[in-house]
Amino acid sequence: MKAIILGKKIGMTSFYGDDGQVIPCTVVEAGPCPVVQIKTKDSDGYNAIQLGFEEKSEAKSNKPRIGHFKKAGVKPMRLLKEFREAGDDYSLGQAMTVEQFVSGDLVKIVGNSKGKGFQGVMKRHGFAGVGMASHGQKDRQRHGGSIGQSSYPSRVLKGTKMPGRMGNTRITVKNVEVLDVVSDQNLLILKGSVPGGRNSYLEIIKNS
């Protein structure tokens, strides 16, 4: 059985080590996450488990989703995530908690980075800008400059760095150390920063 849990980023703070050193860390509210579905190679073509996180009322769930949770004997959940090849020995309704982890464990964190919206080339790609701010120049300081070629190939090449949506991408951070586990409050204290803003959801997987 692999140690897997879903969590929500609470924020960052400081942690004092045994030697008095101040360590920046992230507080994550993790679990309890019930096992909502178990998929097998015989019935579904692959092995996986589905975990739920953060209860919500039945009034905010549709009937198919309510029936899906009732099969596992759990209340409706706000978040569902599937984990392939998670191992055996799982049962429907089994709760995954932070007690799977201990101080010193190394975990993999998966989450979505902060979305920055539509941004120009200076913010998105670190361009320096074009030309001077005077001598007849007007409204071109933050532009990216020429993007095409002359007579050949006479088009814009694929992959050219352009303005566009920035952030809100799936980010994986490996070998994050667990500094402390507060089991009575379902909290994990992780060393350093993790992807996403406050209240964003995270997948936490212990290194095997």
- pLDDT of 134 > 80? The answer is no
Residues in CB range of 122: below 8 A, 6 or more apart: 128, 129, 142
The answer to whether residue 144 is domain-embedded is: yes
Cross-strand partners of 29: 8, 187
Whole-model pTM: value is: 0.84
The answer to whether residue 154 is domain-embedded is: yes
CB distance 28 to 181 below 8 Å: no
Residue 97 corresponds to which tokens in the numbers above?
């908690």
The answer to whether residue 49 is domain-embedded is: no
The answer to whether residue 87 is domain-embedded is: no
144: containing domain = 120-163
- pLDDT at residue 7, rounded to an integer: 95
Please state, in angstroms and rounded to a whole number, the distance separating the CA atoms of residues 85 and 106: 19
- Cα 106 to Cα 23, 29, 100, 134: the distances in Å are 16, 17, 12, 54
Ranges of H-type helices in 4-125: 41-44, 63-72, 121-125
27 burial type by CB count under 10 A (0-12 exposed, 13-18 middle, 19+ buried): buried
The answer to whether residue 168 is domain-embedded is: no
The answer to whether residue 152 is domain-embedded is: yes
The answer to whether residue 157 is domain-embedded is: yes
Query: Phi-psi bin for 140: left (phi > 0), alpha (psi -120 to 50), beta?
Result: alpha
Q: What is the domain count for the chain?
A: 1
Q: Which of 70, 77, 71, 66 is nearest to 32 (CA)?
A: 77
Encode pLDDT of 15-44 as tens digits. Answer: 888 888 899 999 999 989 999 999 988 888
The answer to whether residue 135 is domain-embedded is: yes
Query: Do the strands 33-39 and 22-30 form a parallel or antiparallel pair, or are they unpaired?
Result: unpaired
- pLDDT at residue 26, rounded to an integer: 96
Encode pLDDT of 157-199 as tens digits. Answer: 999 999 999 999 999 999 999 999 999 999 999 999 999 999 9
